[in-house]
C-alpha cells in the first residue's frame, strides 16, 4: 500500500547508507604512531598542576610535567631524580638542597633552571589551591615562601621546612603533581592582573615532560604529543590520545575491534571475558586507594565499641573478594594500602555471625537495630553494600540503603548527617602520612572544625592517636617510622569505626601489539610515554 | 408490552431508549460486547488481569526469596530448571524478584498514569478551547515543564522528601503530563470549530461543561493510546532516576532497578537484564492491546 | 476527531458565531506580536527562576566539584565566595539575570570554559544525531502507521504494533549495546562509538560543529563517510524510538480520519484509494501528527544520556547530566535555556504548521 515512489526512495536511501557505512568502517585500526586509550576523565576540571587534584588530571600531569623527583615505578619505595641530579638534607633536617641536571628545556624551548623550579613551587603556594596543602604542610606560606624556597644558583634549589620532618615524607611529597615545574617565562607572559597565569594555564600547557598537552576537550578527548625538547629518552610514540568513554561494555567492544589500544575502566565481568581473548593482554597494579564502611559516632548505637567490633564481623570478606571485586581489588583490612611504608597485611576479621550476635548482646542490643547507609550507585560499591545488608540482617541489624550520586552522598557525608557510609580514600602523595592524616588524626571534633579528615566526618574523637600520627611524621629513622605506623594500624583495627574492606587494583587491557605499558601505584605514575606499538 | 416484560437484552439494545439511563446502559452494554468481540483486546485484558493476580498472590507464587542470595554459590547462574530466569549478581533468583516486583512496578505505572493523564488532558482541552491568553499562558507553562531538567526536580525531591519509590511516582507524574496536554490541545483546536459544539453552546452550556462533557471525551481515545505506550517509558524513567536515590531502594525488586543493575552484565550474563526487560514488554503489550480495545469500543465512529 | 463541515462551500453562520466568540489568537498585529514576545520572555524567566532556585536547594555542594574533597577549609571558603554562594538567594539570581541579559552565561566550573562555548560544542553533536534520528523516525514511522491503519486488524497491523512496542519498552542502553555488538563488533558494517575516527580527528577544523556539514564543506569525503558511519547507528537507534511512537500515533489518527464520512463520499466520487489515503486522510491526520513529531524531535534534541554514554557521544544530554551531578549550576542553567528554546521554538513551529495544514484551526 505504500506508494511506489516512497518505497523506491526508502530502498535507495537504505542502499546508499549501507554503501557509505561500509566504506567508512574499513579504516578502523588506530594509526601506528598513536596510542589511543579509552578512559573516563570527566573529573578533570583544570590542567594547571598547582590546582589539579582529581585522578584523571593527575595522570595527565604525570605524563606532561616534570618535577624534582619521581617514584621508581618498579619499586615505589625508591626515588628517582627527575630534573634533580642529586639531593641532600642538612644535618638539622630542615634544609633540603637539590642539584639540577644541566641543559634542561621546556617544551616551548625556554631553559629550565633552578629559578623556574623555585618559581613553580612558590606559585603553587601563592595560588593556594586544593593540593597546595601538600607543600604548605611544611611551613611554607604566602608570606615566607619566597624566602624558604630559593634558587641559590642556576642549578641549585633549596627548601627550608619549619620542622625536621622525616626526609622520606618530604621527598615523597615533592613527587606529587603540585610540585610540577611550569615554564616561568611562558606563564608570566600570559599573566592577567597578577594571577600567576592561573586563568590561562587552566586549559593550556607550560611544561617540560616527555609528552606535551595538545588539546583538552572536556568530556571528549585529551590529546598529548611527543615533546622533542625532553631531556630523557624521547617517547617512541608521536601521540597519545585519551578518548572519554564511560561505559565499560563500550570500552570492551572498542578494544576487541582494535579501535582503541588500551581500555582502562573495565568492570570485573569484562575483564574476565577479555582474558580469554588472544589479541588482548592484561596488566594490573595495586593502587593506593582503600575502600571502607564507616560508622558515624554521632549515632548512639554505632558509638558502642561492641557494636563497632560486631559490624566488622558481619562482612563476608572472602566471598566479596572472590566475586564482586575479583581482579579489581584485594581484601585489605588496614588503612594503609600495600606498598606504602609501614603497610600491614594483618587480616583478623572474617564473617562470623555468631560472634557478632554475642557482641551485640553484650552491648545491650540482642535483637539488632535499624540503621541507614549512604551508598553511591556505582559498582562494585553497590554490590558490596547489598551483600553487607544481607549478612548484617543475619545478626538482626536492619540496614536501609540510601542510594545517591557521588557528589550527593559526599555532601551528606561531609555534613556528618549519615549513619553509615561506604567510601574510598586515595593517597594524595605516596607517603603513609597521607592516609594517617585522615584516618587517625582528628585535631578538632567540633561541628565547625576547619579540617574534615575522615575521622572527623565520623565524629571519632582520638586525641591519643592524633598525637601518635603527628609523631610518626617527624620520625626520621625509617625503621622506627615503619613500626609506629604498624602500631597505629593495630590500634585502628581494634577500635576504629571503620570497616576496612579492600585495596583497589587498577587493571588495564591492551592490544597485544602494545609494549612497555606499566601502571604505577598512583594515577600520576601511570606513564604512557614508555609505551610503544609494534 | 412495557419494557419491563421484554428481555434485558432487548431493553439494552432498543433503538428507542425511554430514559437517559437506559441509553447510557445500552451504550455500555454495546461497548462491552464490541470489546469482547475484539480478540486481541480480550487478550490484553486477560494478561492485565493475570498480572494483577500475580501481583496480589506474589508471595505464594515466588519459588525463592526475592531478597536473599548467596554470593559464593548462586551468583550469576544462567537460566536452568532450578532457576527459570537465572540469578542476579547477588545470587537472588530472578523469577522470584520479578514476581514480587510486579506489585511495585504495576503500582508505579498505574499511579503515574492516573495522575499525569487527567492533568494533561484538562490543561490541554482548556487551553485549546479557551484560546487567547489563557491558551498562551497554559502552553508556556507546559513548555516550562517540558524543558525543565527532570533530574533537578528529582534531586530537589530527594532533598525535600527523602529517597524512595513513592516520591519517584510524584516526580515522574509532575513531569509527564505536558505531552498529553499538547496532544489534547491539538485535537481540541479542530473539534471546537464543529457544529455540534456550537449547538451545545447555543443551548446554553457553560464553557466548563462543554470542555468536560463534550470535548474531553473525544480526546480521551488518543490519550489512552499514548498512555499505554508510555507505561514502559515510566518504568524506565523510574529506573533512570534510581541512581539519584529517587527510586527503588535496594534490595527492592522493582523491574526498572533490576534492568539498571543488569546493565553491567548485558554482554555475557544477558539474562539479568533480559528477564525484567521481557516482563516490561509483556506489561506494555498487554496495556497497549487493552488500550486499543478500549479506544475502539469507546469511539462511536470506529469501523465495526 | 472532528466532524467536517458538510457544506463544502465554507464557513456556515453557526461556525462564524463560534469563531468570533472563541477568542483571539496570533493576529498579525504589532501589539499581538509584542504580547507574544512578552509571553516568551516570561517563559524563559519562569524556567530560569524555577531551575535556579531549585538548583540552589539540591543536596549537592557545588564547591566540591571545584576544589575537591581534600581542600582545606580556607580554600573552600574562598571558592564559596568566588561563586557568590554566601549572598542571599534573590541577590544571586538578580546577579545571574543581569549577566544573562548581557549575554554572559557564566563559566562552567567543570571545564573552565564559558558555558556557551561548551554548549556550542555539545549541542551540534546532539543536533546532528537528533535530526538524522527524526528523519528516520518520521520518514519510516508515518508510512508504517498509515500502512497499519489501512490494513487494520491484519497481520501487517500487528507486526507494526509489535515493532513499535519493542522499540518503546526496551531499555535504550540494551538495544544500543546489542546493536553495537551486532553491527559493529560482529558484522563490521558501521564504525564504533564516538563521532569520528582518531585518524581524522585533526584533519578538519569544525566550523559549525555538525561534522557531516563540516567535512562536506571542507571536501574531505573520506572523513565524511567516516562521520556518517559513526552517526548512522546511534541515529537509527534514536530513530527507532521515535518511529515506535510516531507509527502508533499515525495509525491512531489515520483510523480516525478513515472513519469520517468524507472518505466514503470521496470513494463514491471515484477517487483512487491511494489518493484518498495520502492526499486527504493523511493531510487531515497531519495536524495532530505534527505535534507528535515536533514533541519527539524536541525530546531527541534534549539529548539522551544513556545513548550518549553507550556511544561515547559528547552531546547535550551528557553535558547537562554531568553538570547537574556536580551542581555546576551555570552549565545547568545554560543547558536549560537551550532546551527551553528548543521546546518553545518547536511548539511555535507546530502551531504555524497547523495553520498551514488545517484551515479550520485558523480564526478570522
Cell numbers standing for residue A436: 594517617
- Would you state the pLDDT for residue A273? 93
| Closest by Cβ to B277, choosing from C170, C255, C287 | C170
8 Å CB contact of B90 and A390: yes
Q: For A373-395, what is the mean pLDDT? A: 94
The number of C-alpha atoms within 13 Å of B250 and in the hemisphere containing its C-beta is: 32
Q: Which residues of C touch B156 (CB under 8 A)?
A: 54, 57-58
8 Å CB contact of B90 and A267: no
- Would you state the pLDDT for residue A48? 95
Cell numbers standing for residue A294: 564507616
- Would you state the pLDDT for residue C69? 86
The subunits that touch chain A, with at least 3 C-beta pairs less than 8 Å apart, are: B, C
What phi and psi values does residue A60 have, to the nearest 5 degrees? -60, -45
The answer to whether residue A103 scores a pLDDT higher than 60 is: yes
pTM score, two decimals?
0.88
For C47-57, how does the pLDDT look when each residue is reduced to its tens digit (9 = 90+)? 888 888 888 88
Cell numbers standing for residue C86: 554566601
CB A52 within 8 A of CB C218: no
Nearest of B84, B66, B28, B73 to residue B251 by alpha carbon: B66
| Closest by Cβ to B186, choosing from C55, C172, C291 | C291
Nearest of A480, A42, A466, B147 to residue C314 by alpha carbon: A42
Q: Distance between CA B159 and CA A134 in Å, rounded?
A: 35
8 Å CB contact of B264 and A385: no
* Chain C residue with Cα closest to A22: C189
Mutate which of B123, B129, B140, B218 to test chain C, going by most C C-beta atoms within 10 A?
B140
Q: Which of A122-136, A141-155, A249-263, C82-96 has the lowest mean pLDDT?
A: C82-96
Residues 6+ apart with CB under 8 A from A274: A252, A255, A256, A263, A266, A280, A282, A509
The answer to whether residue C126 scores a pLDDT higher than 80 is: yes
Cell numbers standing for residue C142: 508515518
What residues 243-282 of chain C have any CB closer than 8 A to a CB of chain A?
274, 277-278
Cell numbers standing for residue A211: 609528552
Q: Give the whole-number percent of chain A exceeding pLDDT 70.
A: 95
For C102-111, how does the pLDDT look when each residue is reduced to its tens digit (9 = 90+)? 888 888 888 8
Cell numbers standing for residue C73: 577549609
The answer to whether residue A4 scores a pLDDT higher than 80 is: no
The answer to whether residue A17 scores a pLDDT higher than 80 is: no
Q: What is the ipTM of this complex?
A: 0.85
| Closest by Cβ to A273, choosing from B67, B245, B268 | B268
Number of Cβ within a 10 Å radius of residue C155? 8
Number of Cβ within a 10 Å radius of residue A99? 16
- Would you state the pLDDT for residue A244? 94
Judged by DSSP in three states, C170 sits in coil
8 Å CB contact of B250 and A386: yes
Q: Distance between CA C19 and CA C6 in Å, rounded?
A: 17
CA distances from residue A443 to A35, A453, A500 in whole angstroms, order as listed: 47, 9, 22
8 Å CB contact of B192 and C170: no
8 Å CB contact of A253 and C277: no
User: How many Å from the N-terminal Cα to the C-terminal Cα in chain A?
Assistant: 57
The answer to whether residue C364 scores a pLDDT higher than 70 is: no
Q: Which residue has the cell 642549578?
A: A155
CB B239 within 8 A of CB B260: yes
The DSSP string of A318-380 is: HHHHHTTTTTTEEE--SSSPTTSTT----------HHHHHHHHHHTT-TT--EEEEEEESSTT
B298 shares contact with chain C (CB less than 8 Å) = no
- Would you state the pLDDT for residue A23? 47
Q: Distance between CA B296 and CA B228 in Å, rounded?
A: 14
- Would you state the pLDDT for residue B22? 83
Start-end of H helices in chain B: 8-13, 20-37, 39-56, 58-61, 94-130, 132-147, 150-161, 165-191, 195-202, 207-209, 216-241, 255-262, 271-298
| Closest by Cβ to B225, choosing from C170, C248, C260 | C248
C112 to chain B, closest Cα gap in Å:
22
For B115-160, how does the pLDDT look when each residue is reduced to its tens digit (9 = 90+)? 999 999 999 999 988 888 888 888 888 888 887 877 777 778 877 8
Residues 6+ apart with CB under 8 A from C111: A45, A218, A219, C118, C331
H/E stretch holding C93 reads helix C89-101
Cell numbers standing for residue B122: 484538562
- Would you state the pLDDT for residue C11? 36
CB A242 within 8 A of CB A528: no
Strand A398-404 relative to strand A420-426, pairing: unpaired
What residues 26-85 of chain C have any CB closer than 8 A to a CB of chain A?
59-61, 64-75
Q: Name the interface residues of A facing B (CB cutoff 8 Å).
A: 248-249, 252, 267, 269-270, 273, 316, 319-320, 322-324, 375, 377, 379, 382-383, 385-387, 389-390, 400-405, 408
Q: Which residues of C touch A2 (CB under 8 A)?
A: 143, 146-147
Count chain A–chain B contacts defined by CB atoms under 8 A: 74
CB A170 within 8 A of CB A164: no
- Would you state the pLDDT for residue A24? 45
| Closest by Cβ to A411, choosing from C61, C202, C222 | C61
- Would you state the pLDDT for residue C257? 85
Number of Cβ within a 10 Å radius of residue B34? 17
The answer to whether residue C8 scores a pLDDT higher than 50 is: no
Q: Distance between CA A366 and CA C361 in Å, rounded?
A: 73
- Considering chain A, what is the average pLDDT of its residues? 91
Q: Give the whole-number percent of chain C exceeding pLDDT 70.
A: 90
**What single-letter DSSP state applies at residue C4?**
P
C306 to chain A, closest Cα gap in Å:
10
- Would you state the pLDDT for residue A203? 92
State the pLDDT confidence band at C3, using cuts at 50, 70 and 90. Answer: very low
- Would you state the pLDDT for residue A11? 55
Q: For C215-225, what is the mean pLDDT? A: 88
Dihedral angle sign, alpha carbons of residues A377, A381, A383, A386: negative
The answer to whether residue A13 scores a pLDDT higher than 80 is: no
DSSP β-bridge partners for residue A376? A404
**Is the preceding omega at residue A80 within 30 degrees of 0, hence cis?**
no
The answer to whether residue C347 scores a pLDDT higher than 70 is: yes
Q: For A428-439, what is the mean pLDDT? A: 92
DSSP β-bridge partners for residue A285? A506
The answer to whether residue C12 scores a pLDDT higher than 80 is: no
Q: Max Cα separation, chain A? A: 95
Mutate which of A261, A407, A428, A449 to test chain C, going by most C C-beta atoms within 10 A?
A407
The answer to whether residue C237 scores a pLDDT higher than 90 is: yes
- Would you state the pLDDT for residue C299? 85
Q: Which residues of B touch C361 (CB under 8 A)?
A: 189-190, 193
The answer to whether residue C355 scores a pLDDT higher than 90 is: no
Judged by DSSP in three states, A262 sits in strand
What residues 90-149 of chain A have any CB closer than 8 A to a CB of chain C?
128-133
Chain centre to alpha carbon of residue A337: 12
Q: Distance between CA B279 and CA B284 in Å, rounded?
A: 8
- Would you state the pLDDT for residue C6? 38
Q: Which residues of B touch A386 (CB under 8 A)?
A: 90, 250-251
- Would you state the pLDDT for residue C84? 83
User: How many Å from the N-terminal Cα to the C-terminal Cα in chain C?
Assistant: 22
What residues 264-293 of chain A have any CB closer than 8 A to a CB of chain C?
none
Nearest of B132, B139, B137, B123 to residue C346 by alpha carbon: B139
- Would you state the pLDDT for residue B88? 92
Q: For C49-69, what is the mean pLDDT? A: 85
Looking at mean pLDDT, say which of A172-186, B201-215, C34-48, C157-171 comes out highest: A172-186
What residues 123-162 of chain C have any CB closer than 8 A to a CB of chain A?
139-140, 143, 146-147, 150-151
The subunits that touch chain C, with at least 3 C-beta pairs less than 8 Å apart, are: A, B
Q: Which stretches of chain B drop beneath a pLDDT of 50?
A: 1, 302-304
* Chain A residue with Cα closest to B269: A269
Nearest of A270, A238, A237 to residue A254 by alpha carbon: A270
A202 to chain C, closest Cα gap in Å:
7
Mutate which of A254, A255, A269 to test chain B, going by most B C-beta atoms within 10 A?
A269
Mutate which of A12, A25, A237 to test chain C, going by most C C-beta atoms within 10 A?
A25
- Would you state the pLDDT for residue B195? 86
8 Å CB contact of C47 and B148: yes
Nearest of A533, A482, A526 to residue A169 by alpha carbon: A482
- Would you state the pLDDT for residue C40? 80
Q: Which of A72-76, A526-530, B117-121, C237-241 has the lowest mean pLDDT?
A: A72-76
Q: Distance between CA C133 and CA C297 in Å, rounded?
A: 8
Q: Distance between CA A518 and CA A282 in Å, rounded?
A: 10
H/E stretch holding A10 reads helix A4-25
DSSP β-bridge partners for residue A87? A98
Q: Which residues of B touch C316 (CB under 8 A)?
A: none
The subunits that touch chain B, with at least 3 C-beta pairs less than 8 Å apart, are: A, C
Number of Cβ within a 10 Å radius of residue A424? 14
Q: Distance between CA A389 and CA A386 in Å, rounded?
A: 5
Burial A339-367 (b: 16+ CB within 10 A, else e): bbbbbbeeeebebebebbbbbbeebebee
The answer to whether residue C26 scores a pLDDT higher than 50 is: no
B24 to chain C, closest Cα gap in Å:
21
CA distances from residue C265 to A233, A305, A528, B59, C306 in whole angstroms, order as listed: 87, 88, 76, 58, 49
Burial A480-509 (b: 16+ CB within 10 A, else e): ebbebbeebbeebbeebbbbbbbbbbbbbb
Amino acid at each position: 500500500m505504500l506508494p511506489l515512489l516512497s518505497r523506491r526512495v526508502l530502498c535507495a536511501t537504505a542502499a546508499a547508507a549501507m554503501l557509505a557505512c561500509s566504506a567508512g568502517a574499513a579504516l578502523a585500526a588506530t594509526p601506528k604512531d598513536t596510542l589511543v586509550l579509552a578512559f573516563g576523565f570527566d573529573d578533570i576540571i583544570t590542567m594547571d598542576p598547582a590546582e589539579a587534584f582529581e585522578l584523571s588530571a593527575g595522570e595527565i600531569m604525570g605524563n606532561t610535567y616534570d618535577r624534582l623527583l619521581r617514584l621508581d615505578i618498579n619499586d615505589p619505595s625508591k626515588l628517582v631524580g627527575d630534573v634533580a641530579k642529586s639531593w641532600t638534607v642538612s644535618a638539622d633536617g630542615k634544609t633540603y638542597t637539590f642539584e639540577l641536571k644541566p641543559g634542561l628545556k621546556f617544551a616551548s624551548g625556554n631553559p629550565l633552571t633552578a629559578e623556574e623550579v623555585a618559581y613553580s613551587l612558590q606559585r603553587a603556594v601563592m595560588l593556594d589551591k586544593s593540593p597546595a596543602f601538600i607543600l604548605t604542610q611544611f611551613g611554607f606560606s604566602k608570606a615566607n615562601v619566597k624566602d624558604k624556597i630559593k634558587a641559590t644558583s642556576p642549578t641549585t634549589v633549596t627548601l627550608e621546612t619549619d620542622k625536621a620532618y622525616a626526609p622520606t615524607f618530604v621527598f615523597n611529597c615533592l613527587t606529587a603533581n603540585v610540585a610540577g615545574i611550569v615554564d616561568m617565562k611562558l606563564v608570566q607572559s600570559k599573566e592577567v592582573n597578577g594571577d600567576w597565569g592561573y586563568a590561562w594555564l587552566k586549559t593550556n600547557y607550560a611544561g617540560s615532560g616527555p609528552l606535551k598537552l595538545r588539546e583538552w576537550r572536556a568530556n571528549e578527548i585529551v590529546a598529548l604529543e611527543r615533546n622533542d625538547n625532553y631531556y630523557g629518552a624521547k617517547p617512541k610514540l608521536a601521540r597519545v590520545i585519551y578518548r572519554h568513554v564511560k561505559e565499560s561494555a563500550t570500552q570492551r567492544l572498542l578494544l576487541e575491534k582494535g579501535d582503541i589500544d588500551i581500555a582502562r575502566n573495565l568492570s570485573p565481568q569484562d575483564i574476565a571475558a577479555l582474558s580469554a581473548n588472544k589479541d588482548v593482554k592484561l596488566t594490573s597494579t595495586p593502587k593506593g586507594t582503600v575502600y571502607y564502611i564507616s560508622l558515624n559516632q554521632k549515632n548512639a548505637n554505632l558509638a558502642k565499641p561492641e557494636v563497632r567490633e560486631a559490624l566488622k564481623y558481619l562482612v563476608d570478606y572472602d566471598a566479596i573478594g572472590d566475586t564482586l571485586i575479583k581482579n579489581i581489588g584485594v581484601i585489605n583490612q588496614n588503612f594503609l594500602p600495600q606498598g606504602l611504608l609501614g603497610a600491614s597485611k594483618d587480616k583478623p576479621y572474617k564473617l562470623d555471625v555468631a560472634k557478632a550476635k554475642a557482641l551485640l548482646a553484650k552491648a545491650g542490643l540482642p535483637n539488632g537495630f535499624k540503621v541507614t547507609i549512604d551508598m553511591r550507585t556505582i559498582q562494585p560499591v553497590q554490590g558490596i553494600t547489598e551483600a553487607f545488608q544481607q549478612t548484617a540482617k543475619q545478626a538482626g541489624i536492619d540496614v536501609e540503603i540510601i542510594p545517591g550520586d557521588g557528589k550527593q552522598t559526599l555532601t551528606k557525608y561531609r555534613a556528618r548527617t549519615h549513619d553509615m557510609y561506604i567510601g574510598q580514600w586515595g593517597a594524595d602523595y605516596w607517603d603513609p602520612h597521607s592516609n594517617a592524616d585522615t584516618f587517625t588524626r582528628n585535631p578538632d571534633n567540633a561541628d565547625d572544625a576547619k579540617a574534615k579528615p575522615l575521622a572527623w566526618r565520623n565524629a571519632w574523637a582520638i586525641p591519643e592517636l592524633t598525637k601518635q600520627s603527628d609523631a610518626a611524621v617527624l620520625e626520621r629513622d625509617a625503621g622506627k617510622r615503619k613500626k609506629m605506623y604498624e602500631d597505629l594500624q593495630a590500634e585502628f583495627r581494634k577500635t576504629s569505626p571503620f570497616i576496612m574492606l579492600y585495596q583497589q587494583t587498577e587493571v588495564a587491557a591492551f592490544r597485544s601489539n602494545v609494549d612497555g605499558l606499566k601502571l604505577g601505584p598512583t594515577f600520576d605514575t601511570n606513564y604512557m610515554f614508555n609505551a610503544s606499538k609494534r | 408490552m412495557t419494557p419491563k416484560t421484554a428481555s434485558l437484552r432487548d431493553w439494552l439494545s432498543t433503538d428507542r431508549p425511554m430514559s437517559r439511563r437506559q441509553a447510557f446502559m445500552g451504550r455500555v452494554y454495546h461497548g462491552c460486547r464490541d470489546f469482547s468481540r475484539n480478540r486481541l483486546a480480550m487478550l490484553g485484558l486477560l494478561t492485565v488481569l493475570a498480572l494483577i493476580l500475580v501481583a496480589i498472590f506474589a508471595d505464594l507464587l515466588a519459588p525463592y526469596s526475592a531478597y536473599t542470595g548467596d554470593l559464593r554459590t548462586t551468583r550469576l547462574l544462567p537460566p536452568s530448571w532450578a532457576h527459570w530466569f537465572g540469578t542476579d549478581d547477588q545470587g537472588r533468583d530472578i523469577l522470584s524478584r520479578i514476581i514480587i516486583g510486579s506489585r511495585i512496578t504495576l503500582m508505579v505505572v498505574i499511579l503515574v498514569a492516573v495522575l499525569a493523564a487527567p492533568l494533561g488532558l484538562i490543561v490541554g482541552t482548556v487551553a485549546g478551547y479557551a484560546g487567547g491568553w489563557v491558551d498562551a499562558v497554559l502552553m508556556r507553562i507546559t513548555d516550562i515543564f517540558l524543558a525543565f531538567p527532570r533530574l533537578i526536580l528529582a534531586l530537589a525531591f530527594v532533598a525535600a522528601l527523602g529517597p524512595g519509590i513513592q516520591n519517584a511516582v510524584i516526580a515522574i507524574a509532575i513531569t509527564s503530563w505536558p505531552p498529553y496536554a499538547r496532544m489534547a490541545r491539538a485535537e481540541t483546536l479542530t473539534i471546537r470549530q464543529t457544529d455540534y459544539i456550537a449547538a451545545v453552546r447555543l443551548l446554553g452550556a457553560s464553557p466548563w461543561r462543554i470542555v468536560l462533557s463534550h470535548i474531553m471525551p473525544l480526546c480521551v481515545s488518543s490519550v489512552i493510546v499514548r498512555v499505554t505506550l508510555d507505561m514502559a517509558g515510566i518504568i524506565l524513567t523510574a529506573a533512570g532516576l534510581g541512581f539519584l536515590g529517587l527510586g527503588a531502594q535496594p534490595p527492592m525488586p522493582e523491574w526498572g532497578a533490576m534492568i539498571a543493575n543488569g546493565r553491567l552484565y548485558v554482554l555475557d550474563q544477558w539474562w539479568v537484564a533480559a528477564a525484567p526487560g521481557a516482563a516490561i514488554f509483556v506489561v506494555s503489550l498487554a496495556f497497549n492491546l487493552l488500550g486499543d480495545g478500549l479506544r475502539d469500543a469507546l469511539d462511536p465512529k470506529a469501523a465495526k | 476527531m472532528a466532524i467536517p463541515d458538510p457544506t463544502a462551500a465554507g464557513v456556515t453562520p453557526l461556525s462564524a458565531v463560534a469563531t468570533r466568540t472563541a477568542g483571539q489568537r496570533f493576529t498579525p498585529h504589532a501589539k499581538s506580536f509584542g504580547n507574544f514576545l512578552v509571553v516568551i520572555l516570561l517563559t524563559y524567566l519562569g524556567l530560569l527562576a524555577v531551575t535556579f532556585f531549585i538548583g540552589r536547594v539540591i543536596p549537592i555542594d557545588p564547591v566540591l566539584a571545584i576544589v575537591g574533597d581534600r581542600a582545606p577549609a580556607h580554600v573552600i571558603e574562598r571558592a564559596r565566595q568566588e561563586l557568590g554562594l554566601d549572598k542571599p538567594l534573590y541577590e544571586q539570581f538578580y546577579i545571574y539575570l543581569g549577566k544573562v541579559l548581557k549575554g554572559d552565561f557564566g563559566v562552567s566550573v567543570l571545564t573552565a570554559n564559558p558555558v556557551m562555548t561548551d554548549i556550542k560544542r555539545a549541542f551540534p553533536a546532539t543536533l546532528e544525531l537528533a535530526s538524522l534520528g527524526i528523519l528516520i523516525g518520521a520518514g519510516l514511522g508515518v508510512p508504517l502507521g498509515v500502512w497499519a491503519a489501512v490494513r487494520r486488524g491484519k497481520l501487517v497491523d500487528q507486526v507494526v504494533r509489535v515493532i513499535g512496542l519493542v522499540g518503546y519498552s526496551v531499555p535504550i542502553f540494551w538495544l544500543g549495546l546489542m546493536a553495537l555488538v551486532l553491527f559493529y563488533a560482529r558484522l563490521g558494517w558501521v564504525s564504533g562509538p564516538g563521532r569520528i575516527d582518531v585518524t581524522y580527528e585533526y584533519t578538519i577544523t569544525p566550523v559549525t560543529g555538525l561534522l557531516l556539514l563540516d567535512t562536506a564543506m571542507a571536501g574531505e569525503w573520506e572523513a565524511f563517510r567516516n562521520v556518517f558511519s559513526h552517526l548512522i547507528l546511534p541515529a537509527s537507534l534514536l530513530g527507532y524510538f521515535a518511529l515506535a511512537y510516531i507509527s502508533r500515533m499515525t495509525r491512531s489518527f489515520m483510523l480516525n480520519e478513515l472513519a469520517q464520512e468524507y472518505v466514503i463520499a470521496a470513494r463514491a466520487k471515484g477517487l483512487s484509494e491511494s489518493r484518498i489515503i495520502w492526499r486527504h486522510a493523511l493531510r487531515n491526520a497531519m495536524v495532530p501528527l505534527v505535534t507528535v513529531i515536533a514533541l519527539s524531535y524536541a525530546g531527541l534534541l534534549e539529548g539522551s544520556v544513556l545513548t550518549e554514554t553507550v556511544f561515547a557521544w559528547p552531546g547535550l544530554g551528557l553535558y547537562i547530566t554531568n553538570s547537574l551531578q556536580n551542581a555546576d549550576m551555570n552549565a545547568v542553567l545554560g543547558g536549560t535555556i537551550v532546551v527551553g528554546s528548543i521546546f518553545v521554538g518547536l511548539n511555535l513551529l507546530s502551531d504555524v504548521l497547523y495553520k498551514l495544514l488545517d484551515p479550520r484551526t485558523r480564526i478570522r
